[in-house]
Amino acid sequence: MNVTVLGAGGWGLALALLLNENRHDITIWCFDEKEKDDILSHRENKRCFPGIKIPIEIYITSNLEEALSDSKVVVMAVPSFAIRSTAQKMAPFLNSDTIVVNVAKGLEAESLLRLSEVIGSELPNPVVVLSGPSHAEEVARHMPTTVVVSSLNLDSATLIQDIFTTPYFRLYINEDIIGVELGGALKNIIALAAGAIEGLGYGDNTKAALITRGVAEISRLATALGASISTLHGLSGMGDLIVTCTSGHSRNRRAGELIAKGYTLDETIQKVNMVVEGIPATQAAYRLSRLYNIEMPITEAIYRSLFEDSSVRKEIKKLMRRTAKFEE
């Protein structure tokens, strides 16, 4: 099957390698011409995956029309802020029956839409979401990984489950696309907080409390938006939250650590040198919590630390001094 992967970053490359191993015909589209030339020259992405070679049979191009020609499946492995603009660029070249798979995790900051909704507003194609605890570095090295796929079109989700499955990559279908997407987007906010805790030198008690209370507030907002609580306790919710809050691979956790150590937001983004999806997700979740009158104290604390010149240490003290109450 002809599959196009849009984006040559870590996740896009990991999935391209996986699909190539499953004997599909893979094209990778690079947004940046210089990055394309560098990858072609070395047959590897030295920034994301140094030492992992890209097989010669994987075709790499920066021409979007060429990349989408005859594709049956298109994997959107671009940052959340680029989802709408990329979908708009795809529209003239995409066959109507092509399945679009989104693997980014986030919310559109301006509209507050989930990413499948953004894609659906620009393209008539079936959209499948792939999400869960899945660091690209581990998938590229064939470490056992389990994720979920979700879609309003069950046949499309089943096809994606089939073509992505390998001995080390297992996919479950979950029909709750709202919960799958919100779990993947909102956990990045809690990961920022987890990194901040690490940056301040706090211990395991604090981390456990953060993750547990993080699940509670993610669940409050997500269920208000139509998600199922069982989804939030599954791979795309709790599973993704745990791995993002505890792993050294997590860019959101790293960003939170730098913020807690006194780096500015701009300095943090520059130092991480990758997209930190938790930052726009914090803005979106903060606005949604106000819109739906949902209590989200951790999100509010991170928002103030990022955008209102407060300090993480001060915000943690405020969290600990909140009015005593029953556990939800």
User: Do the Cβ atoms of 101 and 73 come closer than 8 Å?
Assistant: yes
| Residue 166: count of CB within 10 angstroms of its CB | 16
Q: Write the CB contacts of 216 (distance below 8 Å, at least 6 apart in sequence).
A: 328
187 is catalytic: yes
Helix (H) or strand (E) holding 256: helix 251-260
Tell me the C-alpha distance between 111 and 249, whole Å.
Answer: 29
What is the full DSSP assignment across 280-314?
Answer: HHHHHHHHHHHHTT---HHHHHHHHHHHS---HHH
User: Which burial class, exposed, middle or buried, applies to 226 when counting CB atoms under 10 A from its CB (0-12, 13-18, 19+)?
Assistant: exposed
User: Which burial class, exposed, middle or buried, applies to 288 when counting CB atoms under 10 A from its CB (0-12, 13-18, 19+)?
Assistant: buried
Q: For the chain, give the number of residues.
A: 328
Tell me the C-alpha distance between 239 and 247, whole Å.
Answer: 12
Given 46, 53, 187, 325, which residue is catalytic? 187
Q: Give the active site residues.
A: 187
